[in-house]
Amino acid sequence: MKVQAAVNKTVGPIILLGAPGAGKGTQAKLIVERYGVPQISTGDLLRDHVSRGTELGKQAKAIMDAGKLVPDDLVNDMVAERLSRPDAARGFILDGYPRTLAQAQWLDLYLADKVFENQGERKLHPVVIDIAVEYNQLLRRLTGRRSCPTCGRIYNVYFQPPRVADLCDVDGAKLVTRRDDCEEVISERLRAYQRQTLPLVDFYRAKGQLLEINGDQDASAVSRDVLKVIDGHRL
Ligand code: ADP
Ligand code: ADP
């Protein structure tokens, strides 16, 4: 999809809600391409800390391997640092954050004080998109997920296979399976989602910020719905 010429416009902030495997990362990458604002994935940021062996990475690793959520304070501080970088000055997409009520409340306070570049004192109006997907479909999406370690492109052995088995279409790198995409960790992650993240759907609905998308469609139909919703809400 073509990058839009109007890169000076602000976008979002866009919050992608949805269970593990709902397609948040897949849709976020498309929004990045179309609107030129960064994808801020707390999962990706945490995995980067783990692979660099930072203090945060050391604290997060065992928790992530067990499929549980990293403590709110650690994640909020990491998000604050990321959002303060210049590339987030005219918009951003949050993917996998917030994931608890405490994170959502922290984010509300943070955004209440934040303005985008060239927007004067204009307050930010988050667009919260919930991508809803049926449980058994989530299991297949997660067990079949593969990604490119070089460019980050996401594949699925059942639904979005690469042209040549196990190799990235873009750069030919050998695709990898995430450590936590194994069956027992997947069920723990889905439990954590039900208990800690699902309540955010009601939280954002009550604030009048929630837009619901049927994520059980193929990826291009989901993308069409996501982009329609964003275009309807751009500042
Ligand atoms: P997915 O959406 O596919 O479950 P993510 O890449 O978003 O995966 O997250 C991977 C793991 O990183 C989670 O299981 C959790 O341990 C940790 N994590 C990511 N985002 C958060 C968050 N906002 N709060 C707490 N832990 C998080
Ligand atoms: P999340 O970031 O919410 O965990 P991903 O975007 O990583 O989810 O998608 C999970 C898996 O499902 C990936 O293997 C991806 O290729 C696949 N996928 C994403 N969207 C769809 C869709 N609409 N239909 C079928 N498979 C999909």
Does 224 qualify as catalytic in the annotation?
no
Give residue 22's pLDDT.
Answer: 97
Measured between alpha carbons, how far is 177 from 195 in angstroms, rounded to an integer? 26
Task: Encode the chain in three state secondary structure.
Answer: CCCCCCCCCCEEEEEEECCCCCCHHHHHHHHHHHHCCCEEEHHHHHHHHHHHCCHHHHHHHHHHHCCCCCCHHHHHHHHHHHHCCHHHCCEEEEECCCCCHHHHHHHHHHHHCCCCCCCCCCCCCCEEEEEECCHHHHHHHHHCEEECCCCCCEEECCCECCCCCCECCCCCCECECCCCCCHHHHHHHHHHHHHHHCHHHHHHHHCCCEEEEECCCCHHHHHHHHHHHHHHHCC
Cα(71) to centroid of ligand 2, in Å? 25
User: pLDDT confidence of 234, banded at 50, 70, 90?
Assistant: low
Give the bridge partners for 176, in sequence order.
Answer: 147
Give residue 8's pLDDT.
Answer: 56
- Express each pLDDT in 120-173 by its tens digit: 677 777 899 999 999 999 999 999 999 999 999 999 999 999 999 999 999 999
28 lines ligand 2 (CB under 6 A): no
Does 146 qualify as catalytic in the annotation?
no
Give residue 84's pLDDT.
Answer: 92
Does 178 qualify as catalytic in the annotation?
yes
Cα(46) to centroid of ligand 1, in Å? 8
144 lines ligand 2 (CB under 6 A): yes
164 Cβ neighbours under 8 A, 6+ residues apart: none
CATH homologous superfamily of 12-38+85-134+197-233 equals: P-loop containing nucleotide triphosphate hydrolases (3.40.50.300)
Cα(141) to centroid of ligand 2, in Å? 6
- Express each pLDDT in 26-53 by its tens digit: 999 999 998 889 999 999 999 999 999 9
- Among protein residues, the one whose CA lies closest to atom 4 of ligand 1: 20
What's the whole-model pTM score? 0.93
**Residue extents of the structural domains in the chain:** 12-38+85-134+197-233
Pocket test for ligand 2, best of 14, 16, 24, 26 (most atoms within 8 A of CB): 26
135 Cβ neighbours under 8 A, 6+ residues apart: 190
